[in-house]
Amino acid sequence: MTVVAIICAILLGLTGLLCLVRIVRGPTMLDRTVAADVFTAACVGAIGVEAAVGRHSTTLPILVALALVAFLGSVSIARYAASQAAGGPT
């Protein structure tokens, strides 16, 4: 179990680093949005791995809240981008 946790931590850390690079360098707002959404998913995965290694479920409400906030943020930015593409209000 320890080897799997270490491999997951390395992969999730690398994912987070690459997402931060894309957030900083992303040429468009949608690139940054997708990178932020993937970064949030990586954070949810890291918290889930920590809960599995520690064999506890006290972080489950944090996982649910973080996933909900990420979903609502992605939907709101997608709706804003769609209205901008259609020539809607700014």
> 27 in helix, strand or coil?
coil
CB 18 within 8 A of CB 2: no
Quote the pLDDT of residue 12. Answer: 95
State residue 89's pLDDT score: 65
CB 48 within 8 A of CB 63: yes
The rounded distance, in Å, linking the Cα atoms of 29 and 80 is 11
Per-residue pLDDT at 47? 94
- Given a cut of 70, the residues of the chain with pLDDT beneath it are 88-90
pTM of this prediction?
0.84
Q: Please, what is the angle between helix 29-54 and helix 60-85, to 10°?
A: 170
